[in-house]
């Protein structure tokens, strides 16, 4: 078997969460990432018949039965990921019933996956129905998007329009917009279900006064989605208290969408 720490998916996961921490998105043990893998990727590095232990996931996800996931651990600091990946992450397969994680690698200190795993898996299910190539769900706490939920309407259309107007690239990067949830208790199946429902129509879901969930085909796409939305929110927070002299008009946004051949969220432009 090859050394799993040299696997491209492992190298990229470590780089990504380290970068998330460096951006200030994942203070302390805040935030979590799940990466769905194909069996042929995993089997080069692990004996998939060697189960280290079984961990209940707290709900049943039959649509993901047999799927492999690399997931950050609960209570783990992203700043430590690059120094001890096996302690801070785990790779598991969901059993045939979809209710138990069969641990194949990681969580070496006896730990387990993030407490937000139900929200992650429910979001994976929702996004796979929209895009069969979806492999990543990412949760973090970008400061400007959080701040924005305190001073901006949580209406999804208005929230999206504001972000689109802040940076020329926004409507191109996330033409499906941003969905928003009111404050809810984290780490529960209820917030997982609510997030998954929002994932049916957008790859970005803001948790008010908490953070954001992003989904994408790979780690780069998902990181880039959040990074772009956070930059737009940063600009908004810098100018929200000032008189608005000019902005990107709806006609200009339509021109952008046409030029880059993206389909923007229906009904979001006048």
**How many CB atoms lie under 10 A from the CB of residue 243?**
5
Mean pLDDT of 197-221: 98
Task: Give the start-to-end residue ranges of the domains of the chain.
Answer: 1-114, 116-270
Q: Are strands 204-207 and 179-181 parallel, antiparallel or unpaired?
A: parallel
CB 140 within 8 A of CB 78: no
Model pLDDT for residues 149-194, shown as the tens digit of each residue = 999 999 999 999 999 999 999 999 999 999 999 999 998 889 999 9
116-270 CATH: 3.40.225.10
What does the CA dihedral 164, 228, 28, 103 come to, rounded to 10 degrees? 110
The span from the CA of 7 to the CA of 28, in Å, is 27
What does pTM read for this prediction?
0.95
Tell me whether residue 156 is one of the annotated catalytic residues.
Answer: no
The CATH homologous superfamily of the domain defined by 1-114: Class II aldolase/adducin N-terminal domain (3.40.225.10)
C-alpha distance across the termini of the chain, in Å: 57
Distance of CA 165 to the CA centre of its chain: 23
Check pLDDT > 90 for residue 239.
yes
The pLDDT tens digits of the residues spanning 91-126 come to 999 999 999 999 999 999 999 999 999 999 999 999
What are 138's two structure tokens? 């990412």
Nearest-angstrom CA–CA distance, 92 and 105: 7
What is the structure's pLDDT at 1? 83
Q: What is the pLDDT of residue 35?
A: 98
| CATH fold match for the domains 1-114 and 116-270 | yes
Of the residues 116, 221, 230, 234, only one is catalytic, namely 116
How much is the mean pLDDT over the chain? 97
Tell me what pLDDT residue 46 has: 97
pLDDT at 219: 98
Residue 266 has pLDDT above 90, yes or no: yes
DSSP 8-state assignment for residue 24: T
């Amino acid at each position: 078997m090859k050394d799993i720490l040299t696997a491209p998916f492992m190298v990229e996961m470590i780089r990504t969460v380290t970068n998330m921490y460096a951006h200030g998105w994942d203070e302390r043990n805040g935030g979590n990432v799940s990466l769905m893998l194909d069996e042929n990727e995993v089997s080069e590095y692990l004996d998939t018949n060697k189960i280290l232990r079984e961990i209940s996931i707290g709900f049943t996800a039959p649509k993901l039965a047999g799927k492999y996931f690399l997931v950050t651990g609960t209570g783990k600091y992203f700043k430590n990921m690059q120094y001890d990946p096996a302690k801070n992450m785990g790779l598991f397969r969901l059993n045939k019933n979809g209710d138990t994680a069969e641990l194949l690698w990681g969580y070496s200190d006896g730990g387990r996956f993030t407490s937000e795993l139900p929200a992650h898996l429910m979001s994976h299910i929702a996004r796979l129905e929209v895009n069969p190539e979806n492999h990543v769900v990412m949760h973090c706490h970008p400061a400007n998007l959080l701040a924005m939920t305190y001073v901006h309407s949580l209406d999804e259309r208005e929230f999206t329009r504001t972000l689109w107007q802040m940076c020329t690239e926004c409507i191109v990067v996330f033409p499906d917009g941003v969905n928003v949830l009111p404050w809810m208790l984290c780490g529960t199946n209820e917030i997982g279900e609510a997030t998954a429902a929002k994932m049916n129509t957008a790859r970005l879901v803001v948790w008010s006064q908490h953070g954001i969930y992003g989904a994408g085909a790979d780690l780069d796409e998902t990181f880039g989605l959040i990074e772009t939305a956070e930059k737009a929110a940063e600009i908004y927070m810098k100018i929200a208290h000032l008189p608005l002299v000019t902005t990107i008009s709806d006609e200009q946004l339509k021109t952008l969408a046409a030029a880059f051949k993206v389909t923007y969220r229906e009904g979001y432009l006048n």
